[in-house]
């Protein structure tokens, strides 16, 4: 039985879409010839990536001396950009995992692109620690494996090694989560494709048929991965913060870093999702699926996490004063009044003041304001990482060793190259996979489409038109299929499917083996809402419903459904269990 939905709730799918419209709108961008804008963007991204590769090779050939690092500032743009990219990658898993567990329907419009953004951002972040080693071919030494090098073994007490495990685990789970969601959509693309393209998507979809067992396993796997990914959202940036918090350097040695870093990562991640999705929404004409309601919900998350970050900044200042520790006080005085004052005040404006504009509903729902502020927030979060790293290291305990750090063209080039990598991968993604999750959008159409809810609703929800008083007999329901049949004489005949009279409330038809959520929805749309009604249906009529409903049900056979439904309607559950043990996916 569908859950009640308030008619005043803002719809998440506009344009009075049907299931077929959703498939057409979301698959067609992968089938069309690339537009001129896509080609220009891809060319610029590849050129930027090639320049970044040149700068990386320059670094490897000439050494880390090509960067402006020194004995005082031994972490610069490399670790700053590493932490920034890891933060960018946090929103995808939060949208996918945590909002899935909380059953937030607005995630369906943005989760696919956010998950892709997570994976690409982590790939960009992973480059910096490898390059920072100086001798990138020695990267194997960071992994603990049996060797003949005597006592040489990774230091498990180092948070830098914890980073390796945390980020690799995060990347693996995020990749699995992303690909799991893509499988049914790859099958949809496969069913529309021809030739070699069809073979490729058939391989990518793992032979998906849309059977009840496939959907059941898919939903179970999604929930398991969501459960695994949820603690990763909190743990990964916590471990990244340990790179600083476990040291004894004033300005770093503080217990507030873990929650502060996690909130900042979600803050910057959502801002980057908005930056990308507002552009993709316009170019791919996805305004009906990424609505103003989606954007406002994301802006609310940015407002909350931005406020948390602002409180963390003020807490740091208060504790440095309250501690009475002169070196800690100087670290924060130096950030605000030292040579890097411009980055500190830029950080405070971008991260503390700018999100407060989202208290206004008009600004939260304004696309241009949202786009501008999302870019401002991303700049501010980069400033935050730079302030934490560069300003803290530039002036340490000994004034004679104080230094001023500024990046060289090589460091800037590598950073730009990661943008080239990110956008190259993202643009390829928009060409090979639906940017919005088709299956998940279809799953909320009847509860979040504008023809079912909101001021422009023209249909009631399933629970409305099936309501009846207790003990009354439901009236006979008949439905005419939208697909007509043509006889040999050329006349068109509309086939009527009459549902037998039945009493009682709606039943959970998924208890019948062979019926999954989509088939249950198709049956209830035709008026078959109880075991009693289903038990009176013929196999031919049930097969006709499957053949004319939206979806691929070629692997489903309704031959046993009426017999199972009869046992369920009479409460003979033990006999039903014995029958289902002899069935295979509802088939004899």
The CATH number linked to 193 is: 1.20.1630.10
**pLDDT in the model for residue 181:** 86
Judge whether 588 lies within some domain.
no
Q: Where are the beta strands (DSSP E) in 58-139?
A: none
Q: Is position 146 within any domain?
A: no
Which pLDDT belongs to residue 505? 63
Q: Can you give the pLDDT at residue 359?
A: 92
Q: What does the alpha-carbon distance between residue 358 and residue 356 come to, in Å, rounded to a whole number?
A: 5
Question: Which phi and psi angles does 361 have, rounded to 5°?
Answer: -65, -35
Q: Are residues 439 and 478 in the same domain?
A: no
Cα atoms found within 13 Å of the Cα of residue 334, Cβ hemisphere only: 23
The strand pairing partners of 478, in sequence order, are: 498
At what angle are helices 159-192 and 212-245 packed, to 10 degrees? 150
Q: Domain check: are 196 and 341 in the same one?
A: yes
Q: Residues 526, 545: contact at Cβ < 8 Å?
A: yes
Q: Which pLDDT score, from 0 to 100, does residue 459 have?
A: 56
> Do both 48 and 185 map to the same domain?
yes
Task: Say if residue 97's pLDDT is above 50.
Answer: yes
Say yes or no to pLDDT of 402 above 80: yes
The residues that bridge with 584 in the sheet, in sequence order, are 587
Residues 486, 396 share a domain: no
Alpha carbon 87 to its chain centroid, in Å, reads 14
- Supply angle C-alpha 300, 224, 429, rounded to 5: 65
4 found inside a domain:
no
Most confident of 28-37, 136-145, 234-243, 415-424: 415-424
Residues 74 and 250 sit within 8 Å (Cβ to Cβ) = no
From residue 9, give the alpha-carbon distance in Å to each of 154, 448, 462: 54, 8, 16
3-state DSSP assignment of residue 493? strand
Here the tokens at position 235 are: 């743990």
pLDDT at 472 > cutoff 50: no
Tell whether 124 and 66 lie within a shared domain. yes
* Predicted pLDDT at 356: 92
Those residues with Cβ within 8 angstroms of residue 147's Cβ, 6 or more apart along the chain or in another chain: none
Query: Where does a domain end: 397, 417, 448?
Result: 448
Looking at residue 491, its pLDDT comes to 45
Counting residues of the chain whose pLDDT is more than 90, the rounded percentage is 14
d(CA 121, CA 126) in angstroms, rounded, equals: 9
Q: Are 378 and 81 in contact (CB under 8 A)?
A: no
Q: Is residue 352 part of a domain?
A: yes
- The per-residue pLDDT for 467 is 36
* Number of domains making up the chain: 2
Q: What is the mean pLDDT of residues 230-250?
A: 85
Distance CA 333, CA 579 (A): 76
User: What is the average pLDDT across 240-244?
Assistant: 87
State residue 486's pLDDT score.
45
Domain-located, residue 151: no
Helix (H) or strand (E) holding 514: none
Same structural domain for residues 205 and 102? yes
Predicted local distance difference test score (pLDDT) of residue 576: 84
Asked whether 493 and 487 are in contact (CB, 8 A), the reply is yes
460 bridge partner residues: none
Burial status of residue 333 (CB atoms within 10 A of its CB: 0-12, 13-18, 19 or more): middle
Cα 186 from Cα 561, distance rounded (Å): 29
- Looking at the structure, tell me whether residues 442 and 556 fall in a common domain: no
497-514 mean pLDDT? 72
- Is pLDDT of 558 > 60? yes
**pLDDT band at residue 482, thresholds of 50, 70 and 90?**
very low
Q: pLDDT digits over 189-213, tens only?
A: 888 888 888 888 889 888 888 788 8
Q: What is the pLDDT of residue 213?
A: 84
Q: Residue 531 is part of which domain span? A: 468-582
At 395 the pLDDT is 81
- Asked if residue 254 belongs to a domain, the reply is yes
**Has residue 485 been placed in a domain?**
yes
Same domain, 313 and 386: yes
- Compute the C-alpha angle 365/367/373, nearest 5°: 95
**Do 97 and 200 sit in the same domain of this protein?**
yes
pLDDT score recorded for residue 469: 35
Residue 452 has pLDDT above 80, yes or no: no
Per cent of the chain over pLDDT 70 is: 88
* Same-domain check for residues 404 and 496: no
- 500 pLDDT higher than 70: no
- 106 falls within a domain: yes
The average confidence (pLDDT) of the chain is 82
> In this predicted model, which residue has the larger pLDDT, 256 or 550?
256
Mean pLDDT across the stretch 539-564?
80
Confidence of residue 420 (pLDDT cuts 50, 70, 90): very high
pLDDT of 6 reads: 60
Residue 159 has pLDDT above 60, yes or no: yes
Residue-level pLDDT at 303 = 92
Which of residues 71 and 171 earns the better pLDDT score?
171
Full-model pTM: 0.74
How remote is the C-alpha of 579 from its chain's centroid?
41
Per-residue confidence (pLDDT) for residue 210, from 0 to 100: 79
Which of the listed ranges 22-26, 259-263, 367-371, 534-538 does the model predict with the highest average pLDDT? 367-371
20 vs 27: CA distance, rounded Å = 11
Higher pLDDT, 481 or 359: 359
Last residue of a domain, one of 420, 448, 476: 448
Residue 466 has pLDDT above 60, yes or no: no
Phi, psi of 150, rounded to the nearest 5 degrees:
70, -125
Q: Where is average pLDDT lowest: 11-20, 37-46, 246-255, 545-554? A: 545-554
List the structure tokens of 245: 């918090």
SS (H, E, C) 226-270: HHHHHHHHHHHHHHHHHHHHCCCCCCCCCCCHHHHHHHHHHHHHH
Residues 385 and 516 in one domain: no
Whether residue 276 sits in one domain with residue 368:
yes
**Which ranges in 449-496 belong to alpha helices (H)?**
462-465
């Amino acid at each position: 039985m569908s859950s009640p939905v308030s008619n005043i709730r803002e719809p998440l799918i506009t344009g009075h879409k049907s299931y077929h419209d959703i498939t057409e709108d979301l698959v067609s961008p992968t089938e069309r010839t690339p537009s001129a804008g896509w080609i220009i963007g891809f060319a610029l991204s590849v050129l930027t990536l090639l320049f970044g590769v040149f700068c990386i090779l320059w670094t490897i050939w000439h050494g880390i001396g090509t960067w402006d690092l020194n004995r005082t500032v031994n972490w610069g743009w490399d670790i700053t950009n590493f932490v920034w990219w890891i933060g960018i990658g946090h929103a995808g898993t939060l949208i996918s995992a945590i909002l899935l567990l909380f059953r937030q329907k607005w995630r369906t419009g943005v989760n696919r692109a956010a998950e892709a953004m997570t994976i690409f951002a982590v790939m960009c972040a992973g480059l910096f620690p490898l390059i920072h080693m100086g001798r990138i071919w020695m990267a194997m030494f960071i992994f603990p494996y049996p060797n003949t090098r005597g006592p040489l073994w990774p230091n498990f007490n180092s948070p830098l090694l914890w980073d390796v495990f945390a980020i690799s685990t995060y990347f693996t789970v995020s990749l699995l989560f992303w690909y799991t969601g893509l499988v049914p959509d790859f099958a949809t693309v496969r069913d529309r494709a021809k030739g070699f393209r069809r073979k490729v998507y058939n391989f990518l979809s793992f032979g998906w048929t849309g059977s009840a067992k496939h959907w059941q396993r898919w939903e179970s796997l999604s929930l398991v991965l969501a459960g695994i990914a949820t603690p990763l959202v909190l743990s990964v940036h916590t471990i990244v913060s340990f790179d600083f918090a476990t040291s004894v350097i004033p300005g770093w040695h503080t217990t507030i870093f873990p929650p502060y870093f996690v909130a900042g990562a979600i803050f910057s991640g959502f801002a980057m999702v908005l930056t990308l999705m507002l552009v993709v929404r316009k170019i791919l004409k996805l305004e009906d699926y990424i609505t103003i309601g989606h954007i406002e919900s994301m802006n609310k998350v940015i407002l909350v996490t931005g406020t948390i970050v602002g409180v963390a900044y003020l807490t740091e200042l208060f504790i440095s004063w309250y501690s009475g520790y002169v070196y800690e006080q100087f670290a924060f005085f130096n950030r605000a009044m030292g040579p890097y004052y411009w980055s500190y005040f830029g950080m405070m404006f971008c991260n503390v003041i700018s999100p407060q504009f989202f208290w206004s509903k008009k600004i939260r729902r304004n696309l241009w304001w949202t786009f501008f502020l999302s870019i401002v927030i991303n700049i501010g979060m980069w400033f935050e990482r730079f302030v934490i790293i560069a300003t803290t290291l530039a002036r340490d305990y000994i004034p004679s060793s104080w230094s001023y750090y500024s990046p060289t063209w090589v460091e800037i080039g590598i950073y730009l190259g990661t943008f080239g990598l990110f956008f190259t991968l993202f643009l390829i993604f928009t060409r090979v996979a639906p940017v919005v999750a088709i299956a998940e959008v279809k799953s909320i159409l009847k509860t979040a489409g504008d023809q079912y809810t909101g001021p422009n609703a023209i249909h009631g929800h399933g629970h409305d038109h099936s309501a009846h008083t207790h003990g009354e007999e439901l009236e006979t329901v008949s439905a005419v299929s939208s697909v007509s049949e043509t006889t040999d004489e050329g006349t068109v005949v509309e086939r009527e499917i009459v549902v037998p009279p039945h009493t009682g409330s709606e039943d959970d038809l998924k208890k019948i083996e062979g019926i999954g959520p989509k088939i249950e929805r198709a049956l209830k749309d035709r008026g078959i809402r109880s075991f009693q009604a289903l038990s009176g249906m013929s196999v031919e009529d049930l097969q006709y419903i499957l053949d004319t409903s939206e979806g691929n049900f070629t692997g489903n056979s309704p031959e046993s459904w009426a017999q199972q439904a009869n046992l369920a309607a009479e409460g003979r559950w033990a006999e039903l269990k014995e029958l289902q043990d002899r069935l295979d996916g509802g088939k004899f």
